[in-house]
Amino acid sequence: MTRFRLTVEYDGGPFMGWQRQAHGPSVQQAIEEAIRAITHESVTLHAAGRTDAGVHALAMTAHVDIARPITPFRLADGINAKLRPLPVAILAAREVSEDFHARFSCIGRRYLYRIANRRAPLALDAGRAWRVPVVLHADEMNRAAQLLVGRHDFTTFRSAHCQAESPVKTLDRLTVRRMGEEIEIEAAARSFLHHQVRSMVGCLELVGRGKWTAADLKAALEARDRAALGFNAPPDGLYFVEALYPED
């Protein structure tokens, strides 16, 4: 039995999320079925994160155990061939030790959220960015974002369906920067609560348009109450960027 580490890129638009589900297609199911077609083995794919419906990944890390002898190159090429025409690609594959686990060995995760700050509709980035037609003040958003950095009780920014044992998380970095008509929000932490990034982005958007102040954002955090949340940003603009491991 060989354990393979896979790096996966995907457009989350056609899927119900990463995790296999009974009521719709998932990224996990698509890759597992591709592997079964190649190896004739029923496998379980484990990932560093479980992205929601419509959320994308630039480099999701996953691992899978395969009994049949196969090289990483042939495995990646074979999976990609079977995945066509789905918007999922294996960017890299390599053998790893049996004690590597895509989820439990992970020591850091990074997300990117893209806001298209323009009036015109999105012709190329539809489904891949959140279009906000009113002017957002990225500097104000970034200043307010620093109030969320550090160890906090993030109950306000936590989905009612979150399965994490504790709402307390340490947010290592939350930055907002403007690049022309695009605003990029980057979040980094060891782990996140369900909907945490989208909830933080939704509140920062309120700050950017002047409906909230930094004090309002701080009050929402300190309320430790989901009812204090502004709103959840849509999934379209969210990307899982990378997972970090000690061996990296």
Distance CA 183, CA 137 (A): 9
Same domain? For 28 and 138 the reply is no
CA 60 to chain centre: 8
Distance CA 182, CA 246 (A): 33
Q: What is the pLDDT of residue 234?
A: 97
Does an H or E element contain 47, and which? strand 46-47
Query: Residue 155 gets which letter from DSSP?
Result: G
Q: Count of domains in the chain? A: 2
Catalytic residue among 11, 52, 77, 172: 52
Catalytic site residue 248? no
Q: Under the phi-then-psi rule, with left for phi > 0, alpha for psi from -120 to 50, and beta for the rest, what region is 180?
A: left
Last residue of a domain, one of 96, 124, 152: 96
Same domain? For 113 and 204 the reply is yes
Q: What is the pLDDT of residue 247?
A: 83
Q: Are 79 and 35 contacting, i.e. CB atoms less than 8 angstroms apart?
A: yes
Number of other residues whose CB lies within 10 A of the CB of residue 181: 12
Q: What is the pLDDT of residue 122?
A: 98
Cβ-count burial of 137 within 10 angstroms (0-12 exposed, 13-18 middle, 19+ buried)?
middle
Q: What is the pLDDT of residue 14?
A: 95
Q: What is the pLDDT of residue 173?
A: 98
Q: Are 27 and 16 contacting, i.e. CB atoms less than 8 angstroms apart?
A: no
Domain that includes residue 86, residue range: 2-96
Q: What is the pLDDT of residue 248?
A: 80
Does an H or E element contain 242, and which? strand 238-244
CB contact burial 35-65 (16+ within 10 A = b; e otherwise): beebbeeebebbbbbbbbbbbbbbbbbbbbe
Same domain? For 121 and 208 the reply is yes
CB contact burial 70-81 (16+ within 10 A = b; e otherwise): bebeebbebbee
Nearest-5° Cα angle at 17, 15 to 19: 120
Q: Where are the beta strands (DSSP E) in 49-136?
A: 56-66, 88-96, 108-116, 130-131
Same domain? For 169 and 210 the reply is yes
- Could you read off the pLDDT tens digit of each residue along the chain, which spans 248 residues? 999 999 999 999 999 999 998 889 999 999 999 999 999 999 999 999 989 999 999 999 999 999 999 999 999 999 999 999 999 999 999 999 999 999 999 999 999 999 999 999 999 999 999 999 999 999 999 999 999 999 999 999 998 778 788 999 999 999 999 999 999 999 999 999 999 999 999 999 999 999 999 999 999 999 999 999 988 999 999 999 999 999 88
Q: CB neighbours of 182 closer than 8 A, spacing ≥ 6?
A: 114, 115, 116, 117, 129
Q: What is the pLDDT of residue 21?
A: 86
Q: CB neighbours of 233 closer than 8 A, spacing ≥ 6?
A: 113, 130, 198, 199, 201, 202, 205
CATH number of the domain encompassing residue 69: 3.30.70.580
Same domain? For 138 and 117 the reply is yes
Same domain? For 85 and 148 the reply is no
Q: What is the pLDDT of residue 11?
A: 98
Nearest-5° Cα angle at 147, 142 to 151: 130
Q: What is the pLDDT of residue 22?
A: 82
Same domain? For 123 and 163 the reply is yes
